[in-house]
Amino acid sequence: MTKIKKRFACNECGYVSGAWMGKCPECNSWNSFVEEIISNNVDVSHSKDNKETQLPVKIQEVQNLDEDIFILDNDNINIFFGSGIVPGSVILLSGEPGVGKSTFLFLLAKYIKRSKKIYYFSGEESVNQIKKRFDRVGASDSSLFVSNISQVEKINEICQKEKPMFVFVDSIQTCFSSEVDSAQGTISQIKKCTQILIDYAKMSNAVVIIVCHVTKSGEIAGPKIMEHMVDVVTYFESDYKNQFRILRSRKNRFGNIDEILVFEMKENGLDIIDNPSSFFIESENLEDSSIGKCKCVIIEGKRPVIVDIEALVVPSAYPMPKRFSEGIDVSRINRILAIIDKHLNENFNNYDVYTNISGGIRTSDIGIDLAIAVAMISSKKQKPIKNDNVFIGELSLTGGIKKVNQIEKRIKEAMRFGLNNVYYQDEKNQIKGIIFLKDYFQ
């Protein structure tokens, strides 16, 4: 008689316990433990390596395989993935519900050459529902086959027989393996299903795109181990106040990270925006001035993007002044305020400070520091900033302004929009430190 064992795994971080716990000691999540059943019957196929085994060889003796990269009929998508999509790669597509993950798959199918067979497996929708969305997006030229099969062994069997070049799995939380005795969406199921799909991609040289939901904290549900297993990790970002979506690359073994694709959500699906700078800055007279708003050029992957930095500084009615930020880390805002206080003697202790990147884009580019400082001082002093001025630079704790990477590309993007007055730090520039702001606002 087979002895059945049970264990409990945290759905947030994967921590395993022999008994149910209310709070996970690893990630401090509440009510995240799910019961899993473990059988003593060990399937030998689990322990076998499905890949071809090979003894270690000298790196110089390894032959390069000339594999043709899949070039799509859209240059923006090709740049986003590197220079196209590498055969045998596994791509993780994640994001919040309703952000447009499934719609993006149809958009991708639209730009894949018709000669490439695409299999779409959806455990969330019926075939009729998929067809309705397919007609709405208008990807009629693609060679797309759809199915609502959820068992990963059957998916693997069909793909081994039909040999599609692209496999879409939507989503990994709805897939299950008959070799794992736990419910769909649990840690064990997700890891097993992902590994089977990865093995298929590496053996067949097909591209597998896996849709994955995120947790309430914004992390990939699975847990984080999925990001280590796949080749490319992408996140859909969305500001539901606006009709745009941003697809950001967080990991890419074949290209740059932090590369972005910007989409506008329309009635017929997602529409790629070829020029994000024109989307994130307001159309305005460059001869005019604005209070509390200035421009900066950030780098997202390889792409320079012009954004408007907005700041609102008002007297605080609270003992602890508010620090609120959208698109910028609040800790960076506090650091910039401390630098301004120290080196310019501008005290913000009695003021609420609100900062924002217009359009809702988020960035971690360090070159945005100077623009944030300029916008905040402009709002506090009620001093206007010319609309054709651009500020690029990282603020040092010692009061200096540091050079940032790819400054030539940033300046070129600014000049392309007629923004010829660019403030930045280099060997020939007159800016030496944050002290120049005193002269700027005089």
Question: Residue 225 sits in a domain of what CATH number?
Answer: 3.40.50.300
> 397 to each of 22, 49, 152, 213, 336, how far by Cα in Å?
43, 53, 53, 39, 9
Domain that holds residue 15: 4-40
Q: How far apart are CA 42 and CA 171, in angstroms?
A: 27
Which of residues 274, 292, 323 is at a domain's end?
274
Instruction: Judge contact between 323 and 349, C-beta under 8 A.
Output: no
In a domain, residue 290? The reply is yes
Number of domains in the chain: 3
| Tokens describing residue 282 | 């307001």
In a domain, residue 53? The reply is no
> How many CB atoms are closer than 10 A to CB 278?
12
Asked if 257 and 322 sit in the same domain, the reply is: no
User: Cα 314 to the chain's mean position, in Å?
Assistant: 33
> 203 to each of 65, 87, 240, how far by Cα in Å?
14, 10, 40
In a domain, residue 58? The reply is no
In a domain, residue 50? The reply is no
pTM metric for this prediction: 0.80
Q: How far apart are CA 158 and CA 149, in angstroms?
A: 10
Asked if 90 and 165 sit in the same domain, the reply is: yes
Enumerate the H helices of 268-406 as residue ranges: 276-280, 330-344, 369-381
Provide φ and ψ at 202, rounded to 5°.
Answer: -70, -35
pLDDT at 44: 38
Q: How far apart are CA 422 and CA 418, in angstroms?
A: 11
Asked if 354 and 263 sit in the same domain, the reply is: no
In a domain, residue 85? The reply is yes
Asked if 330 and 399 sit in the same domain, the reply is: yes
- Collapsed DSSP state (helix, strand, coil) of residue 62: coil
Which of residues 274, 307, 334 is at a domain's end?
274
pLDDT at 59: 83
In a domain, residue 46? The reply is no
In a domain, residue 197? The reply is yes
Asked if 249 and 266 sit in the same domain, the reply is: yes
pLDDT beneath 50, residues of the chain: 1, 41-50
Asked if 163 and 305 sit in the same domain, the reply is: no
Asked if 107 and 243 sit in the same domain, the reply is: yes
Instruction: Judge contact between 267 and 318, C-beta under 8 A.
Output: no
Sign of CA dihedral 364, 366, 367, 370: positive
Question: Residue 434 sits in a domain of what CATH number?
Answer: 3.30.230.10
Asked if 401 and 314 sit in the same domain, the reply is: yes
Which of residues 253, 274, 295 is at a domain's end?
274
pLDDT at 54: 64
Asked if 306 and 253 sit in the same domain, the reply is: no
Q: Is 326 exposed, middle or buried (0-12, 13-18, 19+ CB in 10 A)?
A: middle
Instruction: Judge contact between 232 and 81, C-beta under 8 A.
Output: yes
Asked if 395 and 320 sit in the same domain, the reply is: yes
pLDDT at 45: 41
pLDDT digits (tens, 9 = 90+) for 227-246: 889 999 999 887 666 678 88
CB contact burial 128-160 (16+ within 10 A = b; e otherwise) = eebeebbeebebeebbbebebbbebeebbebbe
Asked if 214 and 163 sit in the same domain, the reply is: yes
pLDDT at 430: 60
Asked if 289 and 270 sit in the same domain, the reply is: no
pLDDT at 46: 43
In a domain, residue 217? The reply is yes
Q: How far apart are CA 12 and CA 28, in angstroms?
A: 9
pLDDT digits (tens, 9 = 90+) for 194-219: 999 999 999 999 999 999 987 655 56
Q: How far apart are CA 253 and CA 227, in angstroms?
A: 12
